[in-house]
Homo-oligomer: A and B are copies of this chain.
Amino acid sequence: MTASGSRVRPRGDRKHHEASCPAACGDACLREAVTRHLEDFLGRRSPAVAGLDVDFADEVLDRLARFVVEGGKRVRPTFAWWGWRAAGGADDGPEAASALRAASALELVQAFALFQDDVMDKSEVRRGEPAVHVRFANDHRSKRWLGDPDHYGQSAALLAGDLALVWAEDMFTEALSHMPDARERARGPWRAMHTEMVVGQFLDMRSQARGDTAESTPLRVNRLKTAAYSAERPLHLGAALADANEKVVQALRRYGEAVGSAYQLRDDLLDLYGEPAQTGKAVGADLREGKRTLLLAVGLRRARERGDREAVRMLDSAIGDPGLPDADVRAVADLLAALGAKKAVEQRLAALLREGTRSLADAPITPMAYEELRRRADGAITRAT
């Protein structure tokens, strides 16, 4: 248990708009501003929750706050910010700060999604540390409580996630309390994103259960679970806050769908070809869990087309084997490269990024946002984490 003294505290009388982001200071500053908004929101909530139950504040809120404040690449708030800026939203001042604060609530939605996904996927590691459900289970074990520590850990992590989802709504709503028209406009993408996230997670899970081998399935899962949720809707949200016209919204959404899908393909490649020290995840974690990626679907199809039964058998038996040795993970990675599946996915990824950037080129968005978004598309190819 963490001592109450270390809990995230409100930042006194600091005003929201002090946490805005001047253009000159770039991405690092944007990330820092998001962190400050989250710290401030959670700190303001802390006393009321401690009033309901001090142990809940120490055990659950503190863990949620640390996860949200310390971690994450702020991908979703950053996309929302550039959606706002692309549509002509101001770089500084109270409205910019409110928009960024609303966008920061996406990090709470993300905490919800990660806590829950890690329980559903039985992932033990997150951001190079024990997953939240593992930490709660360890609390239970070390205190020799009654019942099954793992079940307790999972339930506690799910509740911490619920709190994050509930508070995301509060943070979003409160941040825009002085911009009611903008809030009404942004509510569409904000709400749609929530539904798409749930549907995407269900499709992902069911495709694993079904042993689905169609290439269309990972593409659809990627579109809902990653692209819509991580890029398309955040960009849409930011653009809606800035009262963008339909043409701008459509261009940003097409870009977001393409770049978000590409991002997931890169993630799939990193699962087999990445460096654990950089990704913060064990090599082959998705493979062992049984995740049906495009990479595997293409590999399986090509092996079948070649009549290579040994390759089909090897892939089939590796997918979803939780005890698969590292050497076999490497063998699968080599096999997929030999089958040309790795190259096919890399090509598709590059095509998606070109398509995404092209959709922006003739949209009436600010050139600075265009440059920034183009840079992000390029970065999605080379990222190692």
| In the complex, A324 has a CB within 8 A of chain B | no
Give chain B residues whose Cβ lies under 8 Å from the Cβ of A203. 53, 56
Contact with B along A138-179 (1 / 0, CB 8 A): 001001011100011001101100110111011001000000
User: Smallest Cβ distance from A353 to chain B, in angstroms?
Assistant: 24
B52 touches A199 (CB 8 A): yes
A140 touches B191 (CB 8 A): no
User: Smallest Cβ distance from A19 to chain B, in angstroms?
Assistant: 22
**Count of chain A residues with a beta carbon within 8 Å of a chain B beta carbon:** 52
Interface with B: A9-17, A206-214, A274-282, A371-379, which one?
Answer: A206-214
| In the complex, A290 has a CB within 8 A of chain B | yes
Give chain B residues whose Cβ lies under 8 Å from the Cβ of A140. 209
Give chain B residues whose Cβ lies under 8 Å from the Cβ of A191. 166, 169-170, 173
Residue A205 contacts which of B152, B205, B210, B220 (CB distance < 8 angstroms)? B152
| In the complex, A198 has a CB within 8 A of chain B | yes
Give chain B residues whose Cβ lies under 8 Å from the Cβ of A170. 191
Those of A29-85 within 8 Å (CB) of chain B: 48-49, 52-53, 55-56, 59-60
Taken together as a complex, chains A and B put the C-alpha atoms of A211 and B144 apart, in Å, by 11
| In the complex, A187 has a CB within 8 A of chain B | yes
| In the complex, A314 has a CB within 8 A of chain B | no
Residue A49 contacts which of B146, B166, B195, B320 (CB distance < 8 angstroms)? B195
Give how many copies assemble into the complex: 2
B158 touches A120 (CB 8 A): yes
| In the complex, A180 has a CB within 8 A of chain B | yes
| In the complex, A303 has a CB within 8 A of chain B | no
| In the complex, A196 has a CB within 8 A of chain B | yes
User: Smallest Cβ distance from A213 to chain B, in angstroms?
Assistant: 12
User: Smallest Cβ distance from A304 to chain B, in angstroms?
Assistant: 19
A167 and B146 in contact (CB under 8 A), knowing A52-B224, A55-B206, A158-B158? no
A145 and B211 in contact (CB under 8 A), knowing A120-B155, A166-B194, A169-B169? yes
Taken together as a complex, chains A and B put the C-alpha atoms of A155 and B122 apart, in Å, by 11
Taken together as a complex, chains A and B put the C-alpha atoms of A94 and B180 apart, in Å, by 23
Taken together as a complex, chains A and B put the C-alpha atoms of A146 and B147 apart, in Å, by 28
A56 and B199 in contact (CB under 8 A), knowing A146-B290, A191-B170, A208-B146? yes
| In the complex, A357 has a CB within 8 A of chain B | no
| In the complex, A20 has a CB within 8 A of chain B | no
User: Smallest Cβ distance from A178 to chain B, in angstroms?
Assistant: 12
**4 closest cross-chain pairs (CB), A and B:** A145-B209, A166-B194, A120-B155, A162-B198
A sample of 29 inter-chain contacts (CB < 8 A) reads A48-B195, A52-B196, A53-B199, A53-B202, A53-B220, A53-B224, A55-B206, A56-B203, A116-B158, A119-B155, A122-B151, A145-B210, A146-B211, A146-B290, A147-B208, A147-B290, A152-B205, A156-B202, A156-B206, A158-B158, A159-B201, A163-B198, A166-B194, A166-B195, A166-B198, A169-B169, A169-B191, A170-B191, A173-B191
Q: What residues make up the interface of A, taking CB atoms closer than 8 Å to B?
A: 48-49, 52-53, 55-56, 59-60, 116, 119-120, 122, 140, 143, 145-147, 151-152, 155-156, 158-159, 162-163, 165-167, 169-170, 173, 180, 187, 191, 194-196, 198-199, 201-203, 205-206, 208-211, 220, 224, 290, 320
